[in-house]
């Protein structure tokens, strides 16, 4: 492990604040490997023995981060728990080896690719308004979508008083009974696609997130999950969208 300053070690262990640790080090109450510690000293938490007031301080256990891709089925909330007893996505990843949290949300009636992790820093990055990895959806619409409606969906519009970024909208399938649109978002306002379609009088039959940037749902079955590969995690951390 890379050496860290002794006062940081105390804050990592939730024992003392940095300033309090500095005072205790100055007063001679801290030993490292049996020798009185010095202010500014660096230690390796895995090999050095730190004593404070005669007691050995155990280093905090290293958190093992887990990164999971889930094919969220309809009927599940993208939350950890629900006070009304409704099904939550965390129930589907109980065997992932850690307590995981959804990265963003898919509403209860939507389905598809949902990321879950215990890496708070990555969650913050991916849910920040300025992130640059797009989310891609297949939206099944009842009946036909006119050229004017398609043009309107791809143009800037105001939703709930907020001017959303333009959404790239393409036709994947066009039949008399239904139309499938591919919509690419760089932001995710609450129920954004549903509200966009409502402005055009379009009725959504099915809403499925099929990709997050280069991460594609593929043939992962509804309700099933898998770990992300190392390269996929690095891609998300770098934040370079297509």
For residues 191-207, b (16+ Cβ closer than 10 Å) or e, as one string?
bbbbebbeebebebebb
Exactly one of 12, 83, 107, 148 is catalytic; name it.
107
Contact 17, 11 (CB under 8 A): yes
> Which has the closest alpha carbon to 236: 138, 132, 100, 101?
132
CB atoms within 10 A of CB 236: 23
107: annotated active-site residue: yes
Q: How far apart are CA 176 and CA 62, in angstroms?
A: 57
Parallel/antiparallel/unpaired status of strands 111-117 and 204-212? parallel
Catalytic residues: 107
């Amino acid at each position: 492990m890379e050496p860290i300053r002794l006062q940081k070690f105390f804050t990592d262990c939730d024992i003392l604040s940095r300033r309090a640790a500095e005072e205790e080090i100055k007063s001679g109450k801290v030993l490292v490997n049996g020798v009185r510690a010095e202010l500014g000293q660096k230690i390796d938490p895995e090999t050095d023995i730190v004593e404070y007031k005669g007691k050995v301080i155990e280093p905090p256990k290293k958190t093992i981060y887990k990164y999971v891709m889930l094919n969220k089925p309809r009927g599940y909330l993208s939350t950890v728990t629900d006070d009304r007893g409704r099904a939550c996505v965390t129930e589907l990843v109980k065997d992932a080896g850690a307590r995981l949290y959804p990265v963003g949300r898919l509403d209860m009636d939507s389905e598809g690719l949902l990321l879950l992790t215990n890496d708070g820093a990555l969650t913050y990055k991916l849910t920040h308004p300025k992130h640059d990895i797009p989310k891609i959806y297949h939206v099944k619409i009842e009946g036909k979508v006119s050229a004017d409606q398609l043009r309107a969906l791809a143009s800037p519009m105001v939703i709930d008083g907020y001017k959303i970024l333009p959404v790239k909208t393409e036709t994947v399938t066009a039949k008399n009974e239904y139309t499938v649109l591919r919509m690419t978002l760089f932001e995710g306002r609450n129920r954004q696609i549903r509200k966009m379609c409502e402005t055009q009088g379009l009725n959504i039959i099915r809403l499925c997130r099929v990709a997050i940037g280069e991460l594609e749902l593929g043939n992962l079955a509804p309700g099933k999950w898998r770990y992300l590969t190392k390269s996929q995690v690095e891609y998300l951390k770098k934040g370079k969208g297509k």
